[in-house]
Structure formats: C-alpha cells, structure tokens
Structure 1
Amino acid sequence: MEQLMISFVVPSYNEAGNVEKVMDAIAKEMQHQQAGFEVLFIDDGSSDGTMDEIRHVLHSYSEAGYVSFTRNFGKEAAILAGLQHAKGQAVIVMDADLQHPPSLIPELLKGFEEGYDQVVAKRNRNGESKMRTFLSKSYYKFVNNAIDVRLSDGEGDFRLLSRKAVDSLLLLSESNRFSKGLYAWIGLEQKTISYENIVRQHGETKWSFGKLLNYAVDGIVSFNTKPLRLCFYIGLFTLSSALIYIVATFVSIFLNGIDVPGYFTTISSVLFLGGIQLVSLGIIGEYVGRIYNETKKRPHYLIGQASVEMKGKQDQHATIHRS
C-alpha cells in the first residue's frame, strides 16, 4: 500500500531567522506520524538572506524543497505556487513565523483521517490590542453581511486541505485572489480546531495598517457586487431627495417669494452630491480595475529558481524556471 504523503506549504518573506526553526519543528512532529512528508518553502522575493537559510535547510533535510520568485508577488501568489507544486494527498499551509504552531499538526492530520477535506486552525485574539480586536470583529461582522460566502474571525491560511480541496482551489484562476473567501467558496466538509494566539518571536510583521486595509477591501470586492447595487440605491435616494427639495423650494417661492439664498445650503448640497459621486466612482473603479487585471491574463508569479517541479502539467504561472 502506498504511503500517505503530506505536503507543507510555507510562504516565506524575509523570514531568515525562522526558516530552520519551522523546519525543525515540522520534522519533529512528523517523525511520530505514519506518513511521509515534504516541506515546500515559497520564497516571495525576500531580501534578508531567507533563500540562503532555505538552501542550508536543504542540506540537512531531504524532505525540504523550495520555489523562489523573481520578486515579491505577495502571499496569495505564494500560497498558489505552493498548492501547484505540492505532491501530497493532503496539504498543510502554514506561515514561517511560527505563529502557526507546528504542535497542531497531529490534530490537523487526525481531522484528515476522519474524512474532512478542510481542517482549519482557528486562533483567538489573546495578546492583541483592544483596538485591533475591535476592528477585526467589526470587519468580519460587516463583511459577512456584504459578501456571498461566510468568513470566520480567527480562521486564516493555517489549515489542512485534502487533495480534493487543493484541486478545487486550483480550478479558480482569478488574478485577484482572496484565499479566505476561496476556502469558503469551494465548500467541502470542514472541521475546526482552536488554539491560543502566539506572539511573533523573531522578525517583524509584514502586515501594516495600509496592507490590512487593502486586504479588507479585497475581501469585500472579490466575492460580491453588492457595493455596485448600493451605489445605485444611494444615487436613487439622492435623486429622490433632490427632487423633493426642488419641489418644496419651488412651492415655498411661489407662496412666500424669494428669500436670500443661503451659502450653507448651497455648499452643503454641492459637497454632499460630490461626495456621493466620488465614492460611487471609487467603488466602480475597484471593479473596473479588477476586470482590467483579469483581461491582461498575466501570470500570478514568475519563478527565478526552484528545487522542485510542478505537479502534473506545466502551468503558465511558472514561466521563468531554472533549477
């Protein structure tokens, strides 16, 4: 009987201080499992010696491999590359910063053995600032009322995916990827396990407020067209209000004569209508920009070098590939 193979996909961007640690931790957990494994480090254009550390790990572990991008393409591209190159019957996606504890690997594998296609590790928010916790909860509450799939606070990329789940995700080829939404969109039976939030020990977080805000916008725009419909409703409401105001003003002039026009009324109307127009154009622009990116059909990433070959047919994403 063929031995079960588990693939680990580890996106890495400027994680030189953590590469060897996460590899050691994964190997330690897997030595007690009745399964083979591979660990794929996806170097997302790091500039701090991450690739040197990955090559060093390769000398110590035959199970390690890597894909190195020509530049920084982002975590979504790194996850996609890992899924495309993974050869295992199940794939575990985890960060290189050790905030995704390798000690949960046995629980993830147990869920897979029970027949679940997705086994999701959900963290609490212990140790985070009250402001960030509040903003996060508010975001998820808002976004779940706005999009067509349901997202859960604390559930991220740290999860086990069956081969069926991986193949389903690889069928989705859009350029603007939002993995949290894609995991929910494919459905499939899911099990959730909880763990305590772990504070980063080495390096600095790559998520600035601006990047988090952009990520939040991606989540809202990627999975529904409700903001466009909202623009229509706001425009309709504004037009109706303006017509009522015009009629009321005309009646008042007819009955009482013309009063001295007020500066406040004029400037308020101009600013209000102008603001609605700009917001509406901004929302429409988000969708137009995504359509524009999709029509260009650019690859999600380019590979500078790699120690592994893509599973199955060569894909257009790996257009620059040399060992």
Structure 2
Amino acid sequence: MTVPGNILVSVLVPAFNEEGNVAAAYAAIVAAFARLRNTDFEIIFTDNHSTDRTFEVLKGLAAHDPRVRVIRLSRNFGYQRSVLTAYKAARGDCAVQLDCDLQDPPSLIPDMIGLWQQGHKVVYGVRRALPDGMVTRAMRRLFYRLIRALSEDDLPVDAGEFRLVDRCILDEIRQVEDTSPYVRGLISSMGFSQIGLIYDRAARTVGESKFPLGKMIAMAVDGLLNHSLVPLRIASVTALVTGALTFMLILGYLVARLLFGQAWPAGFATTTLLLLLSIMLNAMFFGIIGEYVGRIFMQAKRRPLPIVEATLNCDSAEPARPARIAAVS
C-alpha cells in the first residue's frame, strides 16, 4: 500500500534466466529505499520467458511482498521489448530501470531521486569504468560515439540502461508501438532536462551475461537504424558518385569517338553508354526511393506488443499519478 502524500517510484528489472540474481536484486532495491523518506516503491520484474527457476523465485517474492509485480512474457521477445513492457506498466511518479545482475548499483537510486527532485526529467547513469575485456570495452565506447555522431538526436555517450525517468516520459512511452525499440535512444530523443550520473559499473557475480557479442552487435544496429538515416544517405551519396563517374565515362567515350576518331567495335559504344546510363539512373532513383522509405520507416513502425503469459500482483493497478516532489534523506 502506498501512503498518501508520498512519491511512488517504479523500479523496472528485466530478467531472463536469472534465478541466482533476482532475490539479491530484490534485497538490494529494498535496502536502497530504506534510506529514503516519504517514498513508496514498487518493483516490476519482466520475466522474458525464462527457462530456469526465475519465475518460481519471483512467485515467492511476489507472495511475500505485494510491492513486487511480475510480468511473464509468453516467449522471449528480446531485451528491449521486455524493457518497454515494464515502462508501460509503471505506475510511479518516476521509474528507475536497472539490470537484474546488480552491475548497476541500486544504492545509487537515492542519488538519482535527488537529481530528479531538482527538476531533471531524466537521470541516466554514465559508465566511468566497465568490467568488460579490453576489446569489448573499446567496442562499447566506439559505438556510443559513433551513434552520437551519426544520429540526429542528442544521445549521451557511455550511458547504458541504468536511468530514472519522470512520469511525463512514462506517459509518452505508453504511446510507443515500435517493432524494434531502442529504449535508451527513445528516451534521449524526447528531450526535457536530462543529466548524467557518473558511476563505476560492477562485474557480474552470478550467472553469465545474456549479451554475447552477436546480441550486442544486433542492438547496436537497432540503435543506429532507429536514430539515423545516414545508412540510406550513404546509398544516395554512392549513387551520386556512381552517376558522376558514369557521366565522365560517357563524355570520354564521346570525345574519343567524335574528336579523335577512335574506332570502337560496332555497337560497343552505344551498348556501353546505355548500360552505364541505366546503372546511373537506377542507382540515383533507388537512392531517392531509399530516402522516402527511410522516412516511412521512422514514422510508421508498428507491431503487436509482447504477449503477457502471466502476471503477479498486477490486478489492482492504481492509476498513474502526477509527479510530486518529496524530501530525500
């Protein structure tokens, strides 16, 4: 039960095969809120159809503590859509997203709430140190800078999934229907006052990472395509360069034939010119079409939301409340 006048914070924790971590994550979150006054909280675990005992452990937590809400998806819909489902279910005045493996410390939640109370609508964690290997660490940092350079949105560098967002952001997220969401970029693109909180990311202590290199690359591609039309513009530029080279070759053929009397084989010049002209026109028009397809893609991405298989402590949902400011110890 929430206390009238208190702020309500939704803590969003995606989980997939994390039977060794969910109880520890719950305990760490409860300990973090023990430091706060005038603050209630709920913990929303989105179980991305785990195949181990994760859901059984979550059942026990939900039975013990009604503040624990669990949403189990009917299959593995991927990390980003699992996260998006949690954001849409949040009832709080603000919401904090963190990973179940405790690499992002729940002990920083009071600091995030303090910055939120100063008027910032988004507080995102900036990773000063990463526990990954040298190659993975370098790839992460390169990706953050590359997507920032290519994107039309103001995407912060070295910022992961650990963040707090205001109720106004949650209301906007509820309207999102995206086939391949990139949630951190989506939130960054909404604007408002956003501030970073620097921290050192801890190493995973239990289980294995659910983000091998292949999934990291796939998420990087989603991030790039969700926030940049540069790949399509590269195609357009390539078409223009190809067209310019083709035009120069056409001129070369004509000059050689008409001014220097170059004796090409019969029909060679005509066939070559027609082929080059056709390639040039196709490349140019495909580039133009690509620009329009890119805009349609950015405007009209729609897909059914993830299907929920089971929920715990989610039946008596309270209506979302407007954000309020309360004291933090």
TM-score strictly above 0.5: yes
Q: Relative to structure 1, is the Cα distance of residues 158 and 68 closer, same or farther in structure 2, using a 3 angstrom cutoff?
A: same
- State the Cα deviation string for residues 159-209 of structure 1 (Å, max 9, x = none): 111111211222333332111211111111122111112111111111122
Q: Distance in 1 between matches of 2:110 and 2:144?
A: 29
Q: Provide Cα deviations, 1:277-322, integer angstroms capped at 9, x if missing partner.
A: 7xx89x959x67x949957x54220111101146659xxxxxxxxx
Is this contact kept in 2: 1:175–1:294, CA < 8 A?
no
Rate the CA distance shift 1:226–1:3 in 2: closer, same or farther, 3 A.
same
1-side partners of 2:236 and 2:202: how far apart? 44
Contact 1:73 1:300 in 2 (8 A): no
* Contact 2:18–2:54 under 8 Å retained in 1: yes
RMSD of the TM alignment (CA)? 3.2
Q: Is the 8 A contact 2:81 2:180 kept in 1?
A: no
Residue 26 of structure 1 corresponds to 29
CA spacing shift, 1:142–1:126, aligned 2, 3 Å: closer
Contact 2:226/2:298 (8 A) holds in 1: no
1:78-106 Cα deviation digits (max 9, x unpaired): 22221222211111111101111111111
TM-score normalised by structure 1 residue count = 0.81
- What is the letter of the counterpart of residue 50 of structure 1? T
Aligned partner of 2:305 in structure 1 is: 300
Instruction: Write the mapping of 1:233-312 to structure 2, written as runs, cut at 5 A.
Output: 233-249=237-253, 251-252=255-256, 255=260, 257=262, 284=290, 291=297, 297-307=302-312, 308-309=314-315
Q: Percent identity?
A: 24
Provide the C-alpha distance between the structure 1 equivalents of 2:307 and 2:237, rounded to a whole number of angstroms.
Answer: 42
Gaps of 5+ in 1: 261-265, 314-323
What is the CA deviation profile of residues 253-296 of structure 1, one whole-angstrom value per residue up to 9, with x for unaligned ones?
67485699xxxxx9xxx9xx8xx97xx89x959x67x949957x
User: 1:175–1:293: 8 Å Cα contact kept in structure 2?
Assistant: no
| Structure 1 counterpart of 2:133, one-letter code | S
Q: What SS class does the counterpart of residue 13 from structure 2 fall into?
A: strand
Looking at both structures, which has the greater relative contact order when contacts are Cα pairs under 8 Å and sequence separation is at least 6?
2
Q: Distance in 1 between matches of 2:26 and 2:112?
A: 17
How much does 1:108 deviate? 1.0
Matched, 1:224 2:228: yes
The superposition leaves residues 113-154 of structure 1 with CA deviations (integer Å, 9 ceiling, x where unpaired) of: 222211111112443323223322332332222211122232
Query: Is the counterpart of residue 49 in structure 1 residue 53 in structure 2?
Result: yes
Q: CA–CA distance in 2 between the matches of 1:220 and 1:24?
A: 36
Q: 2:86 aligns with which of 82, 88, 98?
A: 82
Structure-2 separation of matches of 1:68 and 1:216: 26
Please report the TM-score for the alignment, with normalisation by the length of structure 2. Answer: 0.80
Contact 1:86 1:311 in 2 (8 A): no
Corresponding residue of 2:170: 166
Distance 2:189 2:244 in 1: 38
Q: Computing the radius of gyration over CA atoms, which structure comes out larger, 1 or 2? A: 2
Structure 2 counterpart of 1:8: 11
